[in-house]
Amino acid sequence: MLNAKVDAKKGSLVTELPAWEALKEHVADIEKTHLRDLLHDEARCMALIKESEGIYCDFTRQRVTQRTLELLYELADQADLRGKINAMFNGEHINSTEDRAVLHIATRAHRNQKIMVDGRDVVPDVWEVLDKIKAFTDKVRNGEWLGVTGKPLKSVVAIGIGGSFLGPLFVHTALRTEPNAMRESRDRTLRFLANVDPIDVARALDGLDPEETLVVVISKTFTTAETMLNARTVRSWLIERLGRLLSVLTDASLPALPPAGQEAVAKHMVAVSTNLKLVKEFGIDPENAFGFWDWVGGRYSVCSAVGILPLALQYGFDIMQEFLAGANNMDEHFKNQSYQDNLPVLIGLLSIWNVSFLGFGAKAILPYCQALSKLAPHIQQVDMESNGKGVDINGARLPFQTGEIDFGEPGTNGQHSFYQLIHQGRVIPCEFIGIVRSQQSVYLKGEVVSNHDELMCNFFAQADALAYGKTPEQLRSDNVPDYLIPHRVFTGNRPSMSIMLPSCSAYTVGQLLAMYEHRIAVQGFIWNINSFDQWGVELGKVLASKVRTVMNSARTRDRKVLPQDGFNYSTTRMINKYLEGKTQ
Ligand code: F6P
């Protein structure tokens, strides 16, 4: 019965699958267990430790038995997980609401791979852009490409938001202290400008010499309001400062840039976009634009020019090729491994179990590695924008909640922040990520353990603290006074997984990124939702644009928004309060 094939593509909700029903019933069996006992079942533990592609994953502290896993594999079969993974790799238009293929895996394909989209092998297109990035970044880095006043361009400001920002920031943060990357980036600066807040502009430009600065405008659509305003602001900054230097009176308004302005933009501004027409209209020569394709979703675009261009400017192309190779390694693993040994599939299925059956709607991403401090913000965006949906792929309203609330901080900082809640408050499945060989070593004379050992001691300890907890009996035998016992009891039985990477290198960062991307896809495939559109962000954009229009026209009539402008009482009053304040 449980193995009955059910077509999850058309019509049926995942909740109607026999394995879903069986998993619901199985929850009662798991409720009777405690991780304290499960961790002493050696056969179970052996089955739940997976080592693949150099990555060590320990799932023994998940609230599962081998039976749970069998049922999850059955669910995967019945939900046609394999078919959906294949459809993604085969370039089918699985992003059905936008009629697009989902092929970020092609952005890290080896040159000799073949990946078809609508009858066309796109790997040569990907490599044409990568070759162009290599040629350009080599020229900038070796001083062949100079600024308009003849100086080498040592600083880069990458302007972009959402997927055009968080992925590159994650990778940049991960590599900053990696020895090879450090050597390659000596004397170079990479900054990001994402928020439309003028404070972010001021911070991004603070102390930079425009003569030595290259600006990369990153936007898939080249229409995102924040990015385009920031791009215009920074263009004015460049033109004004460089124009002054070139003794030419400049005017930043387009299309008629004065010659010095055009020259400054030509030498100091490049773009990454799928919309080369708008890049040109903005004033950037399409020759200095690096394209990508509609089959790369914004939040999955870090391996396209979105990430590779700014990161290769900072670290050199070779290091970014290692990063791409790591991601490609995980793609192949995901495509080819059986469910039982497939890391993204296993992690995705365990999340389904935690969210949809045990009712744990959040997860904490806790890298015990400062270099991975931007992993949680990046995954927060990829996951929550992908799987925060209310209907299935056919448009049927879902009778359950999809997606997870993601948050996280590097250990041990998080321990002194929100771990109290995780240990004694809500149950939040934790993902601990540790590194065997640190990027940096500090060994204080006379200390027994190094800084890195100390960090990893906490990594090992936290998972067991969550799993075992502390009983009243243990507290009593520790002579804890009775009145304190309720306060000091830890119920334990709190799930976590521990992931260990051999090092934090460009290669392993690529693997980690792809592992997380694919686990998100696995969850979406099982829930039978479209993880690759993002209609939910549209409404806010439309309303902001309405406010912008009204605010602009309010300037001409005593800075007042009127009731007939179409806002409710609350919004009208708030906007007017703001406008009044501005005049003071
Ligand atoms: O937040 C919505 C979104 O469309 C993201 O998916 C995307 O990464 C971001 O905005 C930026 O879009 P663009 O790269 O087109 O500027």
What is the tens place of the pLDDT at every residue in 72-100?
999 999 999 999 999 999 999 999 999 99
Q: Quick one: tokens of 51? A: 């080592």
* CA 51 to the chain's CA centroid: 24
- Whether residue 423 lies in the annotated active site: no
Pocket test for ligand 1, best of 97, 159, 161 (most atoms within 8 A of CB): 161
Q: Kindly list the distances between the CA atom of residue 253 and the CA atoms of 116, 250, 283, 298, in Å, as whole numbers in the listed order.
A: 42, 9, 10, 29
Average pLDDT of span 28-49: 97
Kindly report the length of the chain.
584
Confidence (pLDDT) at 511: 98
Average pLDDT of span 475-486: 97
Name the 3-class secondary structure at 392: coil
Percentage of the chain with pLDDT > 90? 85
430, 367 Cβ separation under 8 angstroms: no
Read off the amino acid at residue 12.
Answer: S
Cβ atoms within 10 Å, residue 466 = 25
Confidence (pLDDT) at 250: 44
What is the 225 CA–ligand 1 centroid distance (Å)? Answer: 10
Confidence (pLDDT) at 256: 47
Pocket test for ligand 1, best of 221, 292, 517 (most atoms within 8 A of CB): 221
What is the 293 CA–ligand 1 centroid distance (Å)? Answer: 14
What is the 36 CA–ligand 1 centroid distance (Å)? Answer: 44
pLDDT at position 450 over 60: yes
State the DSSP string of 412-466: TGGGGTTHHHHHHSS---EEEEEEEE-SS----TT-SS-HHHHHHHHHHHHHHHH
- Whether residue 268 lies in the annotated active site: no
Q: Kindly list the distances between the CA atom of residue 323 and the CA atoms of 137, 175, 272, 487, 539, in Å, as whole numbers in the listed order.
A: 16, 10, 19, 47, 36
What is the 237 CA–ligand 1 centroid distance (Å)? Answer: 24
Confidence (pLDDT) at 5: 38
Higher-confidence residue of 327 and 565: namely 327
98, 533 Cβ separation under 8 angstroms: yes
Average pLDDT of span 4-22: 73
Q: Is the dihedral of CA 578, 579, 580, 584 positive or negative?
A: positive
Average pLDDT, the chain: 93
What is the 298 CA–ligand 1 centroid distance (Å)? Answer: 6
Name the 3-class secondary structure at 117: strand
Q: Mapped to the 3 state alphabet, what secondary structure does 461-496 carry?
A: HHHHHHHHCECHHHHHHCCCCHHHHHHHCECCCCCE
CA pair distance 236, 198, nearest whole angstrom: 14
pLDDT digits (tens, 9 = 90+) for 414-439: 999 999 999 999 999 999 999 999 99
Confidence (pLDDT) at 206: 98
Confidence (pLDDT) at 554: 80
pLDDT band at 247 (very low <50, low <70, confident <90, very high): low
pLDDT band at 441 (very low <50, low <70, confident <90, very high): confident
Confidence (pLDDT) at 17: 97
pLDDT at position 243 over 90: no
Which ligand 1 atom sits nearest the alpha carbon of residue 227? Answer: 16
Indicate the pTM of the whole model.
0.94
Contacts of 284 (CB under 8 A, 6+ apart): 217, 265, 269, 270, 271
Confidence (pLDDT) at 563: 77
pLDDT digits (tens, 9 = 90+) for 355-390: 999 999 999 999 999 999 999 999 999 999 999 999
pLDDT at position 257 over 80: no
Confidence (pLDDT) at 2: 34
Which ligand 1 atom sits nearest the alpha carbon of residue 385? Answer: 6
Q: Of 24, 416, 546, 577, which residue is the catalytic one?
A: 416
pLDDT digits (tens, 9 = 90+) for 130-173: 999 999 999 999 999 999 999 999 999 999 999 999 999 999 99
Of 58-67, 221-230, 446-455, minimum mean pLDDT range: 446-455
- Whether residue 280 lies in the annotated active site: no
CA pair distance 343, 346, nearest whole angstrom: 5
Ligand 1 pocket by Cβ (under 6 Å): 161-164, 219-221, 224, 227, 298-299, 385, 534, 537
Pocket test for ligand 1, best of 97, 98, 164 (most atoms within 8 A of CB): 164
Angle (CA) 513 323 440, round 5°: 90
pLDDT at position 550 over 90: no
Q: Kindly list the distances between the CA atom of residue 369 and the CA atoms of 86, 311, 528, in Å, as whole numbers in the listed order.
A: 34, 20, 34
What is the 246 CA–ligand 1 centroid distance (Å)? Answer: 36
Q: Of 541, 546, 560, 577, which residue is the catalytic one?
A: 541
